[in-house]
Structure 1
Amino acid sequence: MFWLDPALTRLCGYEVVVTVARCDCKNMSGNGIRERTFICIKPDAVQRGLVGEIIKRFEQKGYRMVAMKFMQASDELLKEHYIDLKDRPFYSSLV
């Protein structure tokens, strides 16, 4: 089970990027990994202290965490990420 320090989950404006892998427990030959899933936990969930709960739910479904990093998205990355919403009235609040 993975536990995250609650102090780290209160970093304003930060996203948590988690990579989890589902193992093939019946066939552990090789690395036993069948798939990998990218999870991005947005800043509002980080501020609300939900990171541990979100990760726990994935673990309960049979995934295990293989990587995690905290990052604060640059303006350039946000503009690239939300490019499809550029013409929407709320776009300026996203970047």
Structure 2
Amino acid sequence: MVKTIEGSLGAPRTPSIDPDEVEKFSSIAAEWWDPKGKFRPLHRFNPVRLRFIRETAERHFGIDPGKVMPLEGLRLLDIGCGGGLVCEPMARLG
């Protein structure tokens, strides 16, 4: 199902969906979440990214670093530039 998106000037735009890209990412979906699979480097780097985001948010918002759920009450936006490996652990932080 393709839904029409209204542009900023009201002109309808239809999103482009590349079937080859859909197939490519569908074929690696199960493997993507395997921390011991071929995407292991991304999984191993994830704690570093999470620590950076957490510590930066704590400093910026004056959050106690010892708080179990330091992001509680904040709203985060995952803009989709990665593979989703950060958004789930971030949600667990509040």
Q: Place the TM-score, normalised by the shorter chain, in its bin.
A: under 0.3
TM-score, normalization: structure 1? 0.23
Q: Which has the higher helix share?
A: 2
User: If you compute each CA radius of gyration, which structure gives the higher value, 1 or 2?
Assistant: 2
Greater RCO between the two (CA within 8 Å, min separation 6)?
1
TM-score by length of 2: 0.23
Is the strand fraction higher in 1 or 2?
1
